[in-house]
Amino acid sequence: MPICTTRDGVEIFYKDWGQGRPVVFIHGWPLNGDAWQDQLKAVADAGFRGIAHDRRGHGRSTPVYSGYDFDTFADDLDDLLTRLDLRDVTLVAHSMGGGELARYIGRHGTGRIRSAVLLSAITPLMLQGPGNPAGVPQSVFDGIKQGILTERSQFWKDTAVGFFSADREGSRATQGNQDAFWYMAMAQTIEGGVDCVDAFGTTDFHEDLRTFDVPTLIVHGDDDRIVPLDATARKSAELIPDATLKVYEGASHGIALVPGDKERFTEDLLDFLRG
């Protein structure tokens, strides 16, 4: 299997499809690189090189007990880009992966980066507070952690419904979408699941976003029940100097997987890459 060993000995699994200018996909929580298979094929077919890794503690990467913070995730990403000697890269990140992308740029700069895509991303801050009234209350994050610790298999099945807004009238989310979510979530370590909630719930990325100096596409659904649009995408678009925001009407948090939404996103992504 293709593996990148990080500076601290963690083995990061990755897919590497196609040839051409590199497009590196960063998955959301609690998923893994398999969440990007449709887009990986699309970019490879279009003449690009698509790469997607499993975050530490997720999927086929080392199931470590520690290191579930954004400085570590950003350094893991830097290890991958350095190991493969990738340059002129477009980074594409979903949900929690948006924090990894932002912290990578804030921590390592854009010397290797051509452009960025934030899809349903958690940036700049998820946690509700006086300066972020549209954010998510701490009690919600506490409930997520309790659900994982109590009976994570059923918790992931229940969570899949909201992830895809599958109970909304007219939703195109399939049972297959929900089953795939459960399968990927169960491949995440329980410690990683809990620690990542603290990481994505409370980490502030305002300063990271202000350091962006590459074209950035921001895509978010207005029926995202996991990451509130007004607290994240709209604010990110204001903070990033060269950003374009696209809001998909009726789209859930799982845009890249749901029929109809995923085709629209893939087309927008390819247009952005070619531009």
Which helix (DSSP H) or strand (DSSP E) does residue 219 occupy? strand 216-221
- Average pLDDT of 28-52? 98
Which pLDDT band, with edges at 50, 70 and 90, does 114 fall under?
Answer: very high
Alpha-carbon span 209 to 136, nearest angstrom:
20
Q: What is the pLDDT of residue 113?
A: 98
pLDDT above 70: percentage of residues in the chain: 100
- Choosing from 75, 195, 208, 224, the catalytic residue is 224
- Average pLDDT of 4-27? 98
Is 90 exceeded by the pLDDT of residue 77?
yes
- Average pLDDT of 166-171? 96
Is 90 exceeded by the pLDDT of residue 103?
yes
Listed as own residue / partner, the contacts of 174-180 with beta carbons closer than 8 Å and 24 or more positions apart are 174/258, 174/259, 177/254, 177/257, 177/258, 180/34, 180/35, 180/257
- Choosing from 53, 79, 95, 115, the catalytic residue is 95
Task: Render pLDDT for 79-96 as a digit per residue (tens, 0 to 9).
Answer: 999 999 999 999 999 999
Sheet harboring 216-221: ordered strands across? 3-5, 11-17, 49-53, 22-26, 89-94, 113-119, 216-221, 243-248
* 220 assigned to active site: no
Domain boundaries, the chain: 3-274
Q: How would you write 23-80 as a 3-class SS string? A: EEEECCCCCCHHHHHHHHHHHHHCCCEEEEECCCCCCCCCCCCCCCCHHHHHHHHHHH
- Average pLDDT of 60-76? 98
* 95 assigned to active site: yes
Tell how many helices (H) and how many strands (E) occur in the chain: 9, 8
Alpha-carbon span 248 to 220, nearest angstrom:
6
Task: Render pLDDT for 194-220 as a digit per residue (tens, 0 to 9).
Answer: 999 999 999 999 999 999 999 999 999
Specify the fold of 3-274. Rossmann fold (3.40.50)
- Average pLDDT of 102-129? 98
* 230 assigned to active site: no
- Average pLDDT of 171-181? 98
- Choosing from 58, 94, 253, 261, the catalytic residue is 253
- Average pLDDT of 138-156? 98
Q: C-alpha distances in angstroms, 29 versus 5, 15, 103? A: 21, 18, 16
Cβ atoms within 10 A of the Cβ of 18, count?
Answer: 19
Cα within 13 Å of Cα(109), Cβ side = 3
Which pLDDT band, with edges at 50, 70 and 90, does 1 fall under?
Answer: confident
Q: Read off the DSSP letter of residue 5.
A: E
* Of 70, 52, 69, 66, nearest in space to 13 by CA: 52
Q: What is the mean pLDDT of the chain?
A: 98
The answer to whether the CB of 61 falls within 8 A of the CB of 10 is yes
